[in-house]
Chain A
């Protein structure tokens, strides 16, 4: 767990921002706590809050959450060999702990990753995420007019910053730019809110077919 302490402040602040925004978007404290406990996936929670606030149907939010979190398959498959000696019943619970930060840390430290190091990191990351979200949701209840402070813009800002740090190859830029244009066109021309899932799957699928597999 100690090896993950450097992550704690940034996860805590990120979660505080999320909790504050979720509260201002009209989620109640118990809805926020429930989401943090049973979903516990930061990026998709950022994605879900403005959709819930805008009154999107549950199925649209759930489908978008699934697509945003598809990347977990990659992490789970990479972690699996390290957990061979664990009872399967435990694995059903440990699976809930798969997250970007612990995965990145555990794989950077040793490959194949040390399962106990990974589990310690999950405790540190989830503890600071849930704690930060609760602090943020209490603080968020104190700000009365979020648009005045530009806080509604925090959602697209987080998404843009998250994608910008991941763009490495030329093909990545094409996928991100293509998805943006396609989503813009779908959202403008068609009513409803499937532009995220459709543009996300089409642009990434085309990219995966056209780019060289070595670019993974």
Chain B
């Protein structure tokens, strides 16, 4: 095990435990305030695209790759279209991966 990776994993574990334990141990009967509940529900909706879209639309050097010759763009469209059509999550992901692999194979 690489020391820096172990530090990362232990830190991830501590950060995650910090999201799970406090409110369970508090045993409070009072429900969370509605606006706080709303914020907690919205966080993953904001974090996931913030993570995914730059991976799709930026090159590793940080410059935009907003052209039809970017295989990841087509993969992302396929994943979103299939998920919107209520396809199974893993099926949508697999289809996106296949599209990207095929486009790369044919020289994009």
A residues with CB within 8 A of B: 10, 13-14, 17, 27-28, 30-31, 34-35, 38-41, 43-44, 47-48, 50, 52, 58-59, 61-74, 76-81, 83-84, 88, 91-92, 94-96, 98, 147-151, 153-167, 172, 175-184, 187-188, 191, 195-197, 199-205, 207-209, 211, 213-216
Which residues of A have CB within 8 Å of B54?
Answer: 183-184, 187-188, 195
Q: What's the dominant secondary structure at chain B's contact region?
A: helix
**Roughly how many angstroms separate A68 CA and B71 CA in the complex, as a whole number?**
27
Please determine whether A52 and B8 come into contact, CB atoms closer than 8 angstroms. Answer: yes
B residues with CB within 8 A of A: 1-2, 4-29, 31-58, 62-64, 71-72, 75-76, 79-80, 83-84, 89-90, 92-93, 96-102, 104-105
Which residues of B have CB within 8 Å of A196?
Answer: 47, 50-51
Which residues of B have CB within 8 Å of A183?
Answer: 49-51, 53-54
Which residues of B have CB within 8 Å of A175?
Answer: 42, 45-46
Q: Given A156-B56, A162-B89: A52 and B5 within 8 A (CB)?
A: yes
Contact of B10 among A27, A38, A191, A205 (CB under 8 A): A38
Q: What's the dominant secondary structure at chain A's contact region?
A: helix
Please determine whether A76 and B21 come into contact, CB atoms closer than 8 angstroms. Answer: yes
Listed by A's residue number, 18 A-B pairs whose Cβ atoms lie within 8 Å are A43-B44, A70-B40, A72-B19, A74-B41, A76-B24, A77-B31, A80-B27, A91-B27, A150-B75, A150-B97, A150-B102, A156-B72, A160-B48, A175-B42, A182-B50, A184-B58, A184-B64, A213-B37
Please determine whether A65 and B64 come into contact, CB atoms closer than 8 angstroms. Answer: no
Nearest 10 CB-CB pairings of A with B: A150-B101, A213-B34, A208-B39, A200-B47, A150-B100, A183-B50, A179-B46, A159-B52, A95-B21, A62-B11
Which residues of A have CB within 8 Å of B6?
Answer: 31, 34
Please determine whether B8 and A216 come into contact, CB atoms closer than 8 angstroms. Answer: no
Please determine whether A150 and B49 come into contact, CB atoms closer than 8 angstroms. Answer: no
Output the nearest chain A residue to B63 by Cβ-Cβ distance: A188
Please determine whether A80 and B28 come into contact, CB atoms closer than 8 angstroms. Answer: yes
Q: Given A39-B12, A58-B8, A77-B31: A180 and B50 within 8 A (CB)?
A: yes
**Roughly how many angstroms separate A74 CA and B99 CA in the complex, as a whole number?**
37
